[in-house]
Amino acid sequence: MNAINISKTAYRNFAALFICVLLAACGAGSVGNAGSNNESVSITATANTTAQNLTLNTAMASFSPLTASGGAIPYTYSITSGKLPENLNLNTSTGAVTGAPTATCTAANVVFSVKDSNNVVASTTSKVSFTVKSTGGSSPSAGPVEISAIGYGSETTGAGSSPATKVSVSNLADAQAAIDAYFGTAGLEITYNGTVDFSAYYNTAANTGTPVLDQNGVALNQGDILTCTLNGQSAQVLEIKGSSSKPKSNITIIGTDGSSAQFGIHITSTSNNIIIRNMTIGLTPGGGNADIISLEGNASSGVPYNIWIDHNNLFTKNILCPGAGDSSFDGMIDVKKGVDKVTISYNWLHDHEKTSLNGFSDSDTVTRHITFAHNIFENLTSRTPLQRFGYSHMLNNYFSNIGTSGINVRMGGYSLIEGNYFENVQNPVTSRDSSAIGYWELRNNNIASPADFTTYGIKWVASGSTPTKDATDWSTTAVFPAAEMTYTYSVDTPSCIKDGLRNVTGAGKGLASLKCN
């Protein structure tokens, strides 16, 4: 019995010794080694949620939304929700936010998180509000109702405050009847309250029949196929055409909020002092024969002047219909053959191929003066605008997602390009595709030098035409002639345009102006 008991004791001691050796070999139970890289303690974080109230173009103090401890180092910090104001950056290794904001921002709520090198995420996050105000201490807002045009069309009064004739219409036929019945200068105000259901044109369901391909061989969906049928239809146009014996002057066409139309407007001959406001016009039929808004002179019967196009929403689709290509729709706002003293302001111009033609051809030499102020040019292909001869002032516009070319100044024309915001634009300022180049003066745009091109998504693709000039050096090619700047104006900062213009541009915005400071 004693021999057996001794054997059991020895066995137990041996087993205990074996287990200790095994644990030591596996690295377990070694208190002295624990914590050399904080692996044995789960990652935790302390949040700093202090709101960051920043000033435009002023460097912020380094700010750390989270402080991590425990877990396996190194740590990685990230943003899980929201976006930092422009030109602020998060250091993913240290967790510090730094930079000098270059755009105003009313309230950017950003959520930060941190993980360790084992990809274990701390349970604590930090939600921080960032506000960026201009030097004056205010953010963009809707200003007072715009009661008169700025720029070259500033003398435009339209029907005035007490027109002789006021009519309300809901369709093209009634609007045309009102125009046809009116002549003289006593004043005509047309209020348009019709509506169009555009939803079928945006049906994204796949076509169930024989595939229909666009010009690039891409299959069209049901909505796009329906859209392409518009190209083969007759143009639907409200014609405003005066004559020496029956002038048509002092006219205002204004849409009610929520109204929409599917016809264009053509102002020609001696028709002058005309305002078009608060209209939503889209997907106009007629292909290359139908601009949305066309201003056109006539050598024999006169030219329109004093025109104000304001607070409208104009659109079609960026689509290359089979057999039509970029003539699936024609111009959005075309100004040609001698038309003068035009202001185009606070319009949302979007989803279209050929946006604005200023000058019918290289032989359309009559001088034009056009102000483009506070417009949004968005999801467009080209001509924002295309200018031949004459003078244009591109003031405080917002250019976003322009596919081929933006401001194209040709045939000796001059453009003052001032206080604009460009982002994701190919060839934003150029002179190409004519027998002579044009000139530009660049002032106080968000792009200050070629170093900004990458920041704002600016791309350049050389033209095969001769002569040609691109603003790849982002410098002025000729000072805008002082004698041609015939009005006074103020300039908003590009950052205010970026942050605030969308709130007041287009139809249904109460005809409000932009208030930056």
**pLDDT score of 93:** 95
Coil/strand/helix, residue 492: coil
40: confidence class by pLDDT, cuts 50, 70, 90: low
The range of the structural domain enclosing residue 76 comes to 44-133
Q: What total of structural domains would you count in the chain? A: 2
Average pLDDT of the chain?
90
**pLDDT score of 106:** 59
Report yes or no on 15 lying in a domain. Answer: no
- In this structure, the answer to whether residues 105 and 160 fall within a common structural domain is no
- In this structure, the answer to whether residues 291 and 333 fall within a common structural domain is yes
| pLDDT mean over 119-126 | 93
203 pLDDT higher than 60: yes
- In this structure, the answer to whether residues 285 and 339 fall within a common structural domain is yes
Beta strands in 291-420 (DSSP E): 293-296, 305-310, 313-315, 333-336, 340-345, 348-354, 357-358, 369-373, 376-382, 386-388, 391-395, 398-402, 407-410, 414-418
The widest CA-to-CA distance across the chain, in whole angstroms, is 139
Residue 85 and residue 155: Cα distance in Å, rounded?
40
Report yes or no on 3 lying in a domain. Answer: no
**pLDDT score of 102:** 78
- In this structure, the answer to whether residues 128 and 265 fall within a common structural domain is no
Pairing verdict, β 249-255 and 188-192: parallel
DSSP state of 141: E
Report yes or no on 9 lying in a domain. Answer: no
| pLDDT mean over 193-204 | 97
- In this structure, the answer to whether residues 126 and 172 fall within a common structural domain is no
**pLDDT score of 64:** 96
| pLDDT mean over 499-517 | 95
| pLDDT mean over 41-47 | 93
**Do 479 and 350 contact (CB within 8 A), yes or no?**
no
- In this structure, the answer to whether residues 124 and 251 fall within a common structural domain is no
What CATH number did the domain enclosing 94 receive? 2.60.40.10
Report yes or no on 8 lying in a domain. Answer: no
Report yes or no on 19 lying in a domain. Answer: no
Number of residues written out for the chain: 517
| 14 to 1, 26, 167: CA distances (angstroms) | 20, 18, 108
- In this structure, the answer to whether residues 173 and 249 fall within a common structural domain is yes
Of 133, 159, 193, the residue that ends a domain is: 133
| pLDDT mean over 120-142 | 80
Report yes or no on 459 lying in a domain. Answer: yes
Of 84, 112, 133, the residue that ends a domain is: 133
Provide DSSP, 240-298: EEE-SSS-BEEEEEEEPTT--B--EEEEEET-EEEEEES-EEE--SSGGG--SEEEE-B
Name which of 129-143, 361-375, 390-404 the model is least confident about.
129-143
Q: Supply the residues annotated as catalytic.
A: 383
Q: HEC states along 223-239? A: HHHHHHHHHHCCCCEEE
Coil/strand/helix, residue 75: coil
Report yes or no on 14 lying in a domain. Answer: no
Report yes or no on 418 lying in a domain. Answer: yes
pLDDT, tens digit (0-9, with 9 covering 90-100), for 450-491 = 999 999 999 999 999 999 999 999 999 999 999 999 999 999
Q: Which residues contact 303 (CB under 8 A, 6 or more apart)?
A: 269, 270, 297, 337, 338, 339, 340, 366
- In this structure, the answer to whether residues 336 and 469 fall within a common structural domain is yes
What CATH number did the domain enclosing 377 receive? 2.160.20.10
pLDDT, tens digit (0-9, with 9 covering 90-100), for 249-277 = 999 999 999 999 999 999 999 999 999 99
| DSSP H/E element including 6 | helix 2-26
- In this structure, the answer to whether residues 322 and 455 fall within a common structural domain is yes
24 pLDDT higher than 80: no
Of 107, 133, 159, the residue that ends a domain is: 133
**Do 384 and 403 contact (CB within 8 A), yes or no?**
no
**Do 492 and 334 contact (CB within 8 A), yes or no?**
no
- In this structure, the answer to whether residues 110 and 156 fall within a common structural domain is no
pTM: 0.76
pLDDT, tens digit (0-9, with 9 covering 90-100), for 465-474 = 999 999 999 9
- In this structure, the answer to whether residues 117 and 151 fall within a common structural domain is no
Pairing verdict, β 76-81 and 105-115: antiparallel
Name which of 77-91, 261-275, 366-380, 446-460 the model is least confident about.
77-91
159 pLDDT higher than 80: yes
- In this structure, the answer to whether residues 227 and 271 fall within a common structural domain is yes
pLDDT, tens digit (0-9, with 9 covering 90-100), for 285-338 = 999 888 999 999 988 889 999 999 999 999 999 999 999 988 899 999 999 999
pLDDT, tens digit (0-9, with 9 covering 90-100), for 206-219 = 999 899 999 999 99
**Residue 475 amino acid letter:** S
- pLDDT-above-70 percentage for the chain: 91
